Amino acid sequence: MRLFIAITFAEEIKQQLASSGQAIAALSLHARLTRQENFHLTLAFLGDALEEAQACLAIDTALNKAPVASFKLYSGKAGVFRRSGGDIHWLGLKPSPELNTLYAGLSSALAEIGFSVENRPYSPHITLAREVKGLNSVLPPPPRFIIPVNKLTLMNSEQKHGLLTYTPIYTKKIT
Quote the pLDDT of residue 4: 87
Interval 9-20 mean pLDDT: 96
Quote the pLDDT of residue 87: 96
Q: Which residues are catalytic?
A: 40, 125
* Predicted confidence (pLDDT) at residue 29 exceeds the cutoff of 80: yes
pLDDT digits (tens, 9 = 90+) for 102-153: 898 888 888 887 777 777 889 999 999 999 999 988 888 999 999 999 998 8
In angstroms, rounded to a whole number, what is the distance separating the alpha carbons of residues 68 and 101? 7
pLDDT digits (tens, 9 = 90+) for 80-100: 999 999 999 999 999 999 999
* Predicted confidence (pLDDT) at residue 67 exceeds the cutoff of 70: no
Tell how far CA 30 is from the center of its chain: 23
Which of 43, 34, 37, 46 shows the shortest CA–CA distance to 1? 46
User: Which domains are seen in the chain, by residue range?
Assistant: 2-173 (3.90.1140.10)
Quote the pLDDT of residue 110: 83
In angstroms, rounded to a whole number, what is the distance separating the alpha carbons of residues 138 and 74? 23
Quote the pLDDT of residue 49: 52
In angstroms, rounded to a whole number, what is the distance separating the alpha carbons of residues 135 and 28? 4
CB 46 within 8 A of CB 55: yes
H or E element, residue 114: none
Band of residue 175 on the pLDDT scale cut at 50, 70, 90: confident
pLDDT digits (tens, 9 = 90+) for 38-59: 999 999 888 775 666 777 777 7
Quote the pLDDT of residue 45: 86
In angstroms, rounded to a whole number, what is the distance separating the alpha carbons of residues 107 and 113? 10
Sheet holding 2-8, edge to edge: 40-48, 2-8, 151-160, 163-173
